[in-house]
Amino acid sequence: MSKDFEALLYEKLPDNKVRCQLCAHGCVIAEGRRGICKVRENRAGALYSLTYGRLIAAHVDPIEKKPLFHFYPGSRSFSIAAPGCNFDCQWCQNWEISQGDSAAAAARCPYTPPQDVVASALRSGSLSISYTYTEPTVFFEYSQDVGLLAHEAGLKNVYVSNGYMSPAAVDLLANWLDAANVDIKAFSDEVYRKHIGAHLQPVLDACVRLKQAGVWLEITTLLIPGLNDDEEQLRGLTKFIASELGAETPWHVSRFFPQYKYQNADVTALASIEKALAIGRAEGLKYTYAGNVADSADTVCPECGNVLIRRTGMNVLSNSVSPEGLCPNCGTRIAGVGLGGQEGSV
């Protein structure tokens, strides 16, 4: 049986209040109340996680679904989620498990000890464990306990995140996290404030900090017509990726389909996806991919154009990257981890 789990990364304040220091919201929480994420509660001046071990989803996915295209391509990732999120995206793609009364949802989920997740991952033949579907930052304590055991068992760890984590959280993640895909939802603080209930800069700061910590990083942007698809935002975002994260950082531009509370937008036109990718390439990005589209997303050598990894959907058909991580045609080093079976990175 599980027990109440006292949270990490918080400060005790006068009058039995606490300040959560896990994400960039920095919620000051009165006794008996919860933070913005709805799954961290102040009980008598101590902060508790309400979702520790309460898994609402567990599946085996291709690593490409995260999406990570330059981190052990073709491998499988045991993927888990607990309820809750620290964002209120009006277009949330997984709103059934991330929004609403997440604490109540967590209470209905059976408890899964961390060692059971690792055992399931090993049985499934997965190379990694992904903390995904909802926002893994809000079940940080559990993901860390699983992640440390995963490393002991020879597994990798992956975060699929909105990036709204505090510097202190990133510093702890750096001890056991191997890769992350961060969703930069727009390059506009106004969009973040109006449609998400957050700010842009902490996301950018976390991306830089993750990169500096040696975590393999890929970026995703869900392209929503009329919201984040204007040229000014796309140029600003791709300039940031190229200059602050490195031109070798893969950028995934995903097609939007109306979801949740955001039904007033159109499905993203394929021409808009291509325009965004062209802007990214013009700003120097070496690896750009279209997501949520029927066409395959192959990895090509940025120097000679040789197709290195052929994909259809989320499946890898062939991989010609050398064991040393090089293009076999021109010898260019291809950015990533485990591209040709090698352990080395960029």
pLDDT tens-digit readout, 121-156: 999 999 999 999 999 999 999 999 999 999 999 999
Q: Residue 334 in contact with residue 325, Cβ under 8 Å?
A: yes
User: Domain extents for the chain?
Assistant: 5-49, 57-293, 296-346
Taking the CA atoms of 325, 160, 164 and 153 in sequence, report the sign of the dihedral they define.
negative
Share of the chain above pLDDT 90, in %: 88
For position 64, what pLDDT does the model report? 97
Q: Is 50 helix (H, G, I), strand (E, B) or coil?
A: coil
Cβ neighbours of residue 67 under 8 Å, at least 6 residues apart?
181, 218, 220, 252, 289, 291
For residue 270, how far is the Cα from the chain centroid? Answer: 24
Give the separation between CA 126 and CA 157, rounded to whole angstroms.
11
Q: What is the mean pLDDT of each run of 10 residues along the chain (346 residues)?
A: 81 98 98 96 97 96 97 98 94 83 85 98 98 97 98 98 98 98 98 97 98 98 96 98 98 93 90 97 98 88 97 93 96 96 48
For 57-293, CATH gives: 3.20.20.70
For position 95, what pLDDT does the model report? 80
For position 345, what pLDDT does the model report? 39
Q: Decide: residue 330, CB within 10 A, 0-12 exposed, 13-18 middle, 19+ buried.
A: exposed
Give the separation between CA 69 and CA 298, rounded to whole angstroms.
9
Give the separation between CA 122 and CA 124, rounded to whole angstroms.
5
16-47: b (≥16 Cβ within 10 Å) or e = eebebbbbbbebebeeeebbbbbbbbbeeeeb
The conformational region for residue 38 under phi > 0 = left, psi -120 to 50 = alpha, else beta, is left
Q: Rounded to whole angstroms, what are the CA distances from 242 to 146, 208, 224, 321? A: 33, 11, 22, 23
pLDDT tens-digit readout, 255-292: 999 988 888 889 999 999 999 999 999 999 999 999 99
